[in-house]
Amino acid sequence: MELGTYGDTVPAVGKSATIRIEGSFPRSKGGSVKVLGIDFDANKAFFVLVSGSHEEATVEHRERLQLADTRSQADMAAFRDEFRKLLEKCAPEAISVRAKPENGQMRAGAAALKMEAIVLAESTAPVDFVSSIKVSKQTDREGLFAYLQPAYKAAMVRLAATPKKK
């Protein structure tokens, strides 16, 4: 496995400037990458594991987890444990999260922010945050439930940024 590099410019939340996220991620032979796309909606987290390239992507796994109570230590621990199991089962090489604003009219709620924190703390692969604008430009996947489309599209944004092997 070799390392690829990526760079992405995203709007800085609450600021007029943009920030550039830099890093590296493992790339399997042939340029195929396993990306876990994540989307948060209220107290639910949607996960879609996509592998391959942006042109020939395969959905390998899809799942939905729910955080019942944001102020319950037991519920937070249960969500964390389920997310760890998901990571073990899927073994993603990269994680792509649809970014939610932290303030303003369309800001993320407490549950989404807490689930996002667990994802960041527990992830075993590099985590990207992709803008909703980039996510919306991706094509829907036929046969995939509507509630899973944003997670799928977040993974596809990441695959589109994956450098092609020469």
State the pLDDT at residue 36. Answer: 97
Where residue 160 falls among pLDDT bands split at 50, 70, 90? confident
Question: How confident is the prediction for the chain on average, in pLDDT?
Answer: 80
Read off the tokens for 116. Answer: 């996002």
State the pLDDT at residue 155. Answer: 94
Read off the pLDDT of each residue in 17-32 and give the average, rounded to a whole number: 44
Distance of alpha carbon 61 from alpha carbon 52, whole angstroms = 13
Within 8 A by CB and 6+ apart from 159, the residues are 33, 35, 50, 52, 53, 54, 57
* Angle, helix 73-90 to helix 110-122, in steps of 10 degrees: 50
Distance of alpha carbon 17 from alpha carbon 26, whole angstroms = 29
Q: In this predicted model, which residue has the larger pLDDT, 110 or 150? A: 150
Q: In this predicted model, which residue has the larger pLDDT, 19 or 114? A: 114
Where residue 32 falls among pLDDT bands split at 50, 70, 90? confident
**Residue type at 25?**
F
N-to-C CA span, the chain: 15
State the pLDDT at residue 100. Answer: 80
Residue entry with tokens 């939905």: 64
Domain ranges of the chain: 2-160
2-160: what fold?
Answer: Nucleotidyltransferase; domain 5 (3.30.420)
> pLDDT for 62-102, tens place per residue?
999 999 998 999 999 999 999 999 999 999 999 999 998 76
- Tell me if 130 sits within 8 A of 9, measured CB to CB: no
> pLDDT for 123-135, tens place per residue?
999 999 999 889 9
The DSSP string of 76-115 is: HHHHHHHHHHHHHHH--SEEEEE---SSSTT---HHHHHH
pTM summary value? 0.77
